Amino acid sequence: MKPLAQSLLGVPATQFDAVIEHLEQEWNTFQTTYDVYFACGQCEQR
């Protein structure tokens, strides 16, 4: 995710690293949760 955050969003590498470093503490303190959904499919081409 880091390369995408840098190239698409302009997030500096040091800022990205700092956020990742503090994620576990935030999750434990605020009981933060995220819902993630994935979908896979295949199209038949004729």
Q: Where are the domains of the chain?
A: 1-46
User: What is the pLDDT at residue 29?
Assistant: 94
pTM beyond 0.75, yes or no: no
CA distances from 46 to 1, 41, 42, 43 (A): 35, 16, 13, 10
Low-confidence ranges of the chain (pLDDT < 70): none
Distance from C-alpha of 6 to C-alpha of 20, rounded to nearest angstrom: 14
pLDDT, tens digit, 9 for 90 and up, residues 7-18: 999 999 999 999
State residue 32's pLDDT score.
83
Non-local (6+) Cβ contacts of 13 within 8 A are 2, 6
Question: What local confidence, expressed as pLDDT, does residue 8 receive?
Answer: 92
pLDDT in the model for residue 38: 87
Q: What is the pLDDT of residue 21?
A: 93
